[in-house]
Amino acid sequence: MWFEEIHDDFFKQGLRVEEKLVEVESEYQKIEVYRSREFGKLLVIDGHGMLCERDEFIYHEMMAHVPICTHRDPKRVLIIGGGDGGVAKEVLRHGDIEVDMVEIDREVVRISQEYFPEIGDWENPRLNLTIGDGIEFVKRADSGSYDIVLVDSTDPEGPAEGLFNREFYAHVFRILKDDGMVVAQGESWWIDMPLHKEIMGVIGQFFKIVMPYRFEMYSYPGCNWNFILGSKRYHPTADIILQRADLIDGLRYYNSDIHKASFILPNYVKKELGQLYKW
Ligand code: SAM
Protein backbone atom coordinates (compact mmCIF):
# COMPACT_ATOMS: atom_id res chain seq x y z
CA MET A 1 0.00 0.00 0.00
CA TRP A 2 1.21 3.55 -0.78
CA PHE A 3 0.40 6.91 0.73
CA GLU A 4 0.41 9.26 -2.24
CA GLU A 5 0.28 13.01 -2.03
CA ILE A 6 -0.97 14.64 -5.21
CA HIS A 7 -0.33 18.33 -5.69
CA ASP A 8 -2.67 20.26 -8.02
CA ASP A 9 -3.01 17.24 -10.28
CA PHE A 10 0.52 17.60 -11.69
CA PHE A 11 2.90 16.21 -9.08
CA LYS A 12 2.71 13.04 -7.02
CA GLN A 13 4.99 11.72 -4.28
CA GLY A 14 4.55 8.45 -2.43
CA LEU A 15 5.62 6.62 0.68
CA ARG A 16 5.29 2.87 1.14
CA VAL A 17 2.95 2.35 4.12
CA GLU A 18 2.23 -0.89 5.93
CA GLU A 19 -0.98 -0.08 7.79
CA LYS A 20 -3.43 2.67 8.60
CA LEU A 21 -3.46 3.08 12.40
CA VAL A 22 -6.39 5.48 12.69
CA GLU A 23 -8.80 7.56 10.64
CA VAL A 24 -10.98 10.25 12.21
CA GLU A 25 -13.32 12.72 10.56
CA SER A 26 -13.18 15.67 12.94
CA GLU A 27 -15.37 18.76 12.86
CA TYR A 28 -12.79 20.41 10.58
CA GLN A 29 -10.88 17.79 8.62
CA LYS A 30 -9.99 14.15 8.01
CA ILE A 31 -7.05 13.01 10.15
CA GLU A 32 -5.17 9.78 9.45
CA VAL A 33 -2.09 8.10 10.87
CA TYR A 34 -0.15 5.50 8.87
CA ARG A 35 2.80 3.34 9.71
CA SER A 36 5.28 3.68 6.85
CA ARG A 37 7.96 1.17 6.03
CA GLU A 38 11.03 3.46 6.27
CA PHE A 39 9.86 6.86 7.55
CA GLY A 40 8.12 5.89 10.80
CA LYS A 41 4.56 6.95 11.55
CA LEU A 42 2.96 9.57 9.32
CA LEU A 43 0.28 12.14 10.22
CA VAL A 44 -2.01 13.09 7.33
CA ILE A 45 -4.68 15.81 7.28
CA ASP A 46 -7.11 15.98 4.36
CA GLY A 47 -4.74 13.92 2.25
CA HIS A 48 -1.66 16.07 2.94
CA GLY A 49 1.30 14.75 4.89
CA MET A 50 1.84 16.89 8.01
CA LEU A 51 4.79 15.12 9.53
CA CYS A 52 6.50 11.80 9.71
CA GLU A 53 8.74 10.56 12.47
CA ARG A 54 11.86 10.32 10.33
CA ASP A 55 12.18 13.97 9.26
CA GLU A 56 9.87 16.01 11.55
CA PHE A 57 12.88 17.39 13.46
CA ILE A 58 14.02 19.35 10.39
CA TYR A 59 10.75 21.26 10.03
CA HIS A 60 10.21 21.83 13.72
CA GLU A 61 13.76 22.92 14.56
CA MET A 62 13.89 25.30 11.59
CA MET A 63 10.56 26.94 12.31
CA ALA A 64 11.42 27.55 15.97
CA HIS A 65 15.14 28.24 16.31
CA VAL A 66 15.78 30.49 13.31
CA PRO A 67 13.58 33.35 14.62
CA ILE A 68 14.47 32.71 18.26
CA CYS A 69 18.19 33.02 17.52
CA THR A 70 17.59 36.09 15.35
CA HIS A 71 15.66 37.90 18.09
CA ARG A 72 17.72 39.48 20.90
CA ASP A 73 15.60 38.40 23.85
CA PRO A 74 12.32 36.61 23.04
CA LYS A 75 10.07 35.90 26.00
CA ARG A 76 6.58 35.31 24.55
CA VAL A 77 5.91 33.19 21.48
CA LEU A 78 2.51 32.55 19.89
CA ILE A 79 2.01 29.45 17.74
CA ILE A 80 -1.01 29.35 15.44
CA GLY A 81 -1.93 25.75 14.55
CA GLY A 82 0.91 23.36 15.34
CA GLY A 83 -1.41 20.79 16.93
CA ASP A 84 1.14 17.98 16.65
CA GLY A 85 3.18 19.80 19.31
CA GLY A 86 6.49 19.68 17.42
CA VAL A 87 7.14 23.40 17.03
CA ALA A 88 6.13 24.08 20.63
CA LYS A 89 8.54 21.44 21.88
CA GLU A 90 11.41 23.14 20.04
CA VAL A 91 10.49 26.61 21.31
CA LEU A 92 10.27 25.25 24.85
CA ARG A 93 13.92 24.13 24.69
CA HIS A 94 14.61 27.81 25.45
CA GLY A 95 14.00 27.87 29.18
CA ASP A 96 12.95 31.53 29.46
CA ILE A 97 10.23 31.49 26.79
CA GLU A 98 6.48 31.17 27.46
CA VAL A 99 4.40 29.69 24.63
CA ASP A 100 0.76 30.34 23.76
CA MET A 101 -0.51 27.88 21.19
CA VAL A 102 -3.88 28.12 19.43
CA GLU A 103 -4.95 25.00 17.57
CA ILE A 104 -8.44 24.83 16.09
CA ASP A 105 -8.84 21.05 16.11
CA ARG A 106 -8.84 19.21 19.43
CA GLU A 107 -8.67 15.91 17.55
CA VAL A 108 -5.26 16.75 16.03
CA VAL A 109 -3.91 17.30 19.54
CA ARG A 110 -5.49 14.12 20.88
CA ILE A 111 -4.24 11.95 18.03
CA SER A 112 -0.75 13.49 18.19
CA GLN A 113 -0.56 12.86 21.92
CA GLU A 114 -1.61 9.26 21.39
CA TYR A 115 0.43 8.35 18.29
CA PHE A 116 3.36 10.79 18.45
CA PRO A 117 3.89 11.36 22.19
CA GLU A 118 7.64 11.96 21.83
CA ILE A 119 7.14 14.85 19.37
CA GLY A 120 5.37 17.14 21.86
CA ASP A 121 6.24 18.52 25.29
CA TRP A 122 2.62 18.67 26.44
CA GLU A 123 3.19 18.67 30.20
CA ASN A 124 5.56 21.64 30.11
CA PRO A 125 4.13 24.36 32.41
CA ARG A 126 5.38 27.07 30.03
CA LEU A 127 2.98 25.81 27.33
CA ASN A 128 -0.47 27.38 27.36
CA LEU A 129 -2.71 25.56 24.86
CA THR A 130 -5.99 27.07 23.63
CA ILE A 131 -8.35 25.07 21.44
CA GLY A 132 -9.77 27.70 19.14
CA ASP A 133 -9.50 29.57 15.87
CA GLY A 134 -6.17 31.36 15.38
CA ILE A 135 -7.89 34.01 13.26
CA GLU A 136 -10.22 35.01 16.10
CA PHE A 137 -7.40 34.74 18.64
CA VAL A 138 -5.18 37.30 16.90
CA LYS A 139 -8.14 39.69 16.54
CA ARG A 140 -8.64 39.66 20.30
CA ALA A 141 -4.99 39.61 21.43
CA ASP A 142 -3.47 42.77 22.94
CA SER A 143 -1.28 44.98 20.77
CA GLY A 144 2.46 44.53 21.28
CA SER A 145 2.08 41.40 23.37
CA TYR A 146 4.33 38.89 21.55
CA ASP A 147 7.96 38.74 20.47
CA ILE A 148 7.47 36.03 17.85
CA VAL A 149 4.43 34.57 16.06
CA LEU A 150 4.82 31.19 14.33
CA VAL A 151 2.12 30.23 11.83
CA ASP A 152 2.30 26.43 11.65
CA SER A 153 -0.87 25.79 9.74
CA THR A 154 -2.27 23.50 7.10
CA ASP A 155 -2.49 24.72 3.49
CA PRO A 156 -4.90 27.57 2.65
CA GLU A 157 -8.08 25.57 2.48
CA GLY A 158 -10.76 24.81 5.09
CA PRO A 159 -10.08 26.35 8.51
CA ALA A 160 -6.63 27.63 7.46
CA GLU A 161 -7.86 29.72 4.54
CA GLY A 162 -8.02 32.91 6.61
CA LEU A 163 -4.46 32.44 7.89
CA PHE A 164 -3.01 33.60 4.58
CA ASN A 165 -4.62 36.97 4.00
CA ARG A 166 -3.94 40.64 4.67
CA GLU A 167 -6.42 40.97 7.52
CA PHE A 168 -4.77 38.15 9.47
CA TYR A 169 -1.27 39.59 9.01
CA ALA A 170 -2.45 43.07 9.98
CA HIS A 171 -3.35 41.60 13.38
CA VAL A 172 -0.15 39.55 13.58
CA PHE A 173 1.81 42.77 12.98
CA ARG A 174 -0.24 44.62 15.58
CA ILE A 175 0.16 42.04 18.35
CA LEU A 176 3.93 41.86 17.87
CA LYS A 177 6.26 44.17 19.79
CA ASP A 178 8.30 46.80 17.93
CA ASP A 179 11.12 44.33 17.40
CA GLY A 180 8.85 41.33 16.78
CA MET A 181 8.87 38.85 13.94
CA VAL A 182 6.67 36.26 12.28
CA VAL A 183 7.51 32.97 10.59
CA ALA A 184 5.02 31.24 8.32
CA GLN A 185 5.07 28.06 6.34
CA GLY A 186 6.22 29.25 2.91
CA GLU A 187 5.38 26.22 0.74
CA SER A 188 7.78 25.11 -2.02
CA TRP A 189 9.48 27.16 -4.74
CA TRP A 190 9.48 24.12 -6.96
CA ILE A 191 5.92 22.92 -6.42
CA ASP A 192 4.01 26.13 -5.73
CA MET A 193 5.94 29.32 -6.48
CA PRO A 194 2.71 31.35 -6.97
CA LEU A 195 1.55 30.56 -3.42
CA HIS A 196 5.03 31.25 -2.04
CA LYS A 197 5.00 34.66 -3.75
CA GLU A 198 1.50 35.39 -2.49
CA ILE A 199 2.55 34.78 1.14
CA MET A 200 5.74 36.82 0.65
CA GLY A 201 3.60 39.65 -0.72
CA VAL A 202 1.08 39.62 2.11
CA ILE A 203 3.77 39.59 4.82
CA GLY A 204 5.69 42.26 2.91
CA GLN A 205 2.74 44.65 3.17
CA PHE A 206 3.57 45.01 6.86
CA PHE A 207 7.13 43.93 7.68
CA LYS A 208 10.34 45.79 6.84
CA ILE A 209 12.34 42.60 6.28
CA VAL A 210 10.76 39.62 4.46
CA MET A 211 13.04 36.71 3.60
CA PRO A 212 12.42 33.05 2.81
CA TYR A 213 14.70 30.40 4.22
CA ARG A 214 14.93 26.87 2.99
CA PHE A 215 15.10 23.41 4.43
CA GLU A 216 14.73 19.97 2.97
CA MET A 217 11.76 17.86 3.96
CA TYR A 218 12.04 14.43 2.43
CA SER A 219 8.43 13.49 3.13
CA TYR A 220 6.98 16.67 1.54
CA PRO A 221 6.30 16.90 -2.19
CA GLY A 222 9.43 18.03 -3.99
CA CYS A 223 11.58 17.94 -0.83
CA ASN A 224 12.63 21.60 -1.16
CA TRP A 225 10.55 23.62 1.27
CA ASN A 226 10.61 27.12 2.82
CA PHE A 227 9.61 29.22 5.74
CA ILE A 228 9.08 32.96 5.36
CA LEU A 229 10.39 35.29 8.02
CA GLY A 230 8.93 38.78 8.40
CA SER A 231 10.73 41.05 10.84
CA LYS A 232 10.13 44.54 12.17
CA ARG A 233 13.73 45.16 13.20
CA TYR A 234 16.21 42.29 13.43
CA HIS A 235 17.84 40.94 10.31
CA PRO A 236 18.17 37.13 10.30
CA THR A 237 21.70 37.00 8.91
CA ALA A 238 23.14 40.35 10.03
CA ASP A 239 21.83 40.39 13.58
CA ILE A 240 22.06 36.75 14.61
CA ILE A 241 24.26 35.99 17.58
CA LEU A 242 25.79 32.84 16.15
CA GLN A 243 27.00 31.32 19.40
CA ARG A 244 23.43 31.12 20.67
CA ALA A 245 22.50 28.80 17.82
CA ASP A 246 25.20 26.35 18.80
CA LEU A 247 24.35 26.35 22.50
CA ILE A 248 20.94 24.70 22.21
CA ASP A 249 21.02 21.13 23.49
CA GLY A 250 19.71 18.11 21.66
CA LEU A 251 19.32 19.46 18.12
CA ARG A 252 19.68 17.17 15.11
CA TYR A 253 19.51 19.68 12.25
CA TYR A 254 19.80 23.35 13.17
CA ASN A 255 23.12 25.04 13.88
CA SER A 256 24.73 28.40 13.11
CA ASP A 257 26.03 27.30 9.68
CA ILE A 258 22.60 25.98 8.68
CA HIS A 259 21.09 29.26 9.87
CA LYS A 260 23.27 31.35 7.55
CA ALA A 261 23.12 28.93 4.63
CA SER A 262 19.36 28.57 4.67
CA PHE A 263 18.90 32.22 3.62
CA ILE A 264 21.03 31.92 0.47
CA LEU A 265 18.80 32.05 -2.59
CA PRO A 266 19.37 30.57 -6.04
CA ASN A 267 19.23 33.05 -8.95
CA TYR A 268 15.92 31.79 -10.32
CA VAL A 269 14.29 32.46 -6.94
CA LYS A 270 15.77 35.95 -6.63
CA LYS A 271 14.50 36.73 -10.10
CA GLU A 272 11.01 35.37 -9.39
CA LEU A 273 10.71 37.23 -6.10
CA GLY A 274 12.03 40.57 -7.32
CA GLN A 275 10.77 43.32 -4.99
CA LEU A 276 8.91 40.81 -2.80
CA TYR A 277 12.29 39.94 -1.29
CA LYS A 278 12.87 42.63 1.32
CA TRP A 279 16.25 42.34 2.95
N1 SAM B 1 3.75 20.94 9.75
C2 SAM B 1 2.50 20.89 9.12
C3 SAM B 1 2.49 21.21 7.67
O4 SAM B 1 2.64 22.37 7.30
O5 SAM B 1 2.34 20.31 6.88
C6 SAM B 1 1.44 21.65 9.83
C7 SAM B 1 1.31 21.11 11.18
S8 SAM B 1 -0.06 21.36 12.16
C9 SAM B 1 -0.72 19.72 12.21
C10 SAM B 1 -1.25 22.31 11.26
C11 SAM B 1 -2.45 22.59 12.12
O12 SAM B 1 -3.05 23.84 11.77
C13 SAM B 1 -3.57 21.56 12.02
O14 SAM B 1 -3.58 20.79 13.18
C15 SAM B 1 -4.83 22.40 11.85
O16 SAM B 1 -5.92 21.93 12.61
C17 SAM B 1 -4.35 23.76 12.32
N18 SAM B 1 -5.18 24.88 11.85
C19 SAM B 1 -5.71 25.06 10.61
N20 SAM B 1 -6.43 26.20 10.59
C21 SAM B 1 -6.35 26.76 11.82
C22 SAM B 1 -6.89 27.93 12.42
N23 SAM B 1 -7.69 28.77 11.73
N24 SAM B 1 -6.59 28.20 13.72
C25 SAM B 1 -5.81 27.35 14.44
N26 SAM B 1 -5.28 26.21 13.92
C27 SAM B 1 -5.54 25.93 12.63
Domain boundary among 36, 52, 68: 52
User: Do 158 and 228 lie in a common domain?
Assistant: yes
User: Do 105 and 243 lie in a common domain?
Assistant: yes
pLDDT at 250 over 90: yes
Residue closest via CA to ligand 1's atom 26 equals: 81
| Cα 83 to ligand 1 centroid, rounded to whole Å | 6
* CA triple 265-270-271, angle to 5 deg: 150
User: Do 140 and 221 lie in a common domain?
Assistant: yes
User: Do 168 and 255 lie in a common domain?
Assistant: yes
Active-site residue flag, 152:
yes
Nearest atom in ligand 1 to the alpha carbon of residue 109 is 14
Q: Tell me what pLDDT residue 36 has.
A: 96
- Report the percent of the chain where pLDDT is more than 90: 90
Instruction: Please state, in angstroms and rounded to a whole number, the distance separating the CA atoms of residues 52 and 55.
Output: 6
User: Do 138 and 215 lie in a common domain?
Assistant: yes
**CATH number of domain containing 43:** 2.30.140.10
Note the helical H segments in the chain.
56-70, 86-91, 106-115, 134-140, 166-175, 189-204, 242-245, 256-261, 267-273
Instruction: Please state, in angstroms and rounded to a whole number, the distance separating the CA atoms of residues 116 and 121.
Output: 11
Q: Tell me what pLDDT residue 244 has.
A: 84
What is the pLDDT of the chain when averaged over all its residues? Answer: 96
Structural domain that includes position 271: 56-276
- The answer to whether 192 and 206 have CB atoms below 8 angstroms apart is no
- The answer to whether 17 and 23 have CB atoms below 8 angstroms apart is no
**Ligand 1 surroundings by CB, under 6 angstroms:** 45, 50-51, 59, 80-84, 102-105, 108, 133-135, 152-154, 159-160, 163, 185
- In tens, the pLDDT along 124-149 reads 999 999 999 999 999 999 999 999 99
- In tens, the pLDDT along 28-62 reads 999 999 999 999 999 999 999 999 999 999 999 99
- In tens, the pLDDT along 251-264 reads 999 999 999 999 99
User: Do 23 and 84 lie in a common domain?
Assistant: no
Q: Which of 171, 276, 265, 224 is nearest to 62 (CA)?
A: 224
User: Do 220 and 97 lie in a common domain?
Assistant: yes
Residues in the chain: 279
Q: Which of 172, 226, 177, 224 is nearest to 202 (CA)?
A: 172
240 confidence band (pLDDT: 50, 70, 90): confident
Q: Who's near 167: CB < 8 A, 6+ residues apart?
A: none
| Cα 81 to ligand 1 centroid, rounded to whole Å | 4
Instruction: Please state, in angstroms and rounded to a whole number, the distance separating the CA atoms of residues 94 and 104.
Output: 25
Instruction: Please state, in angstroms and rounded to a whole number, the distance separating the CA atoms of residues 56 and 120.
Output: 11
Residue closest via CA to ligand 1's atom 27 equals: 81
User: Do 224 and 254 lie in a common domain?
Assistant: yes
User: Do 79 and 210 lie in a common domain?
Assistant: yes
Mutate which of 111, 151, 153 for ligand 1 pocket (most atoms within 8 A of beta carbon): 153
Q: Who's near 95: CB < 8 A, 6+ residues apart?
A: none
Domain boundary among 52, 67, 89: 52
222 confidence band (pLDDT: 50, 70, 90): confident
Residue closest via CA to ligand 1's atom 10 equals: 153
Model pTM score: 0.97
User: Do 124 and 231 lie in a common domain?
Assistant: yes
Write the burial class of residue 264 (CB in 10 Å: 0-12 exposed, 13-18 middle, 19+ buried). Answer: exposed
pLDDT at 75 over 90: yes
Among candidate residues 55, 84, 152, 192, the one labeled active-site is 152
User: Do 179 and 202 lie in a common domain?
Assistant: yes
User: Do 16 and 87 lie in a common domain?
Assistant: no
- The answer to whether 31 and 23 have CB atoms below 8 angstroms apart is yes
Q: Tell me what pLDDT residue 8 has.
A: 82
**CATH number of domain containing 170:** 3.40.50.150
Number of separate domains in the chain = 2
Q: Tell me what pLDDT residue 254 has.
A: 97
Q: Tell me what pLDDT residue 215 has.
A: 97
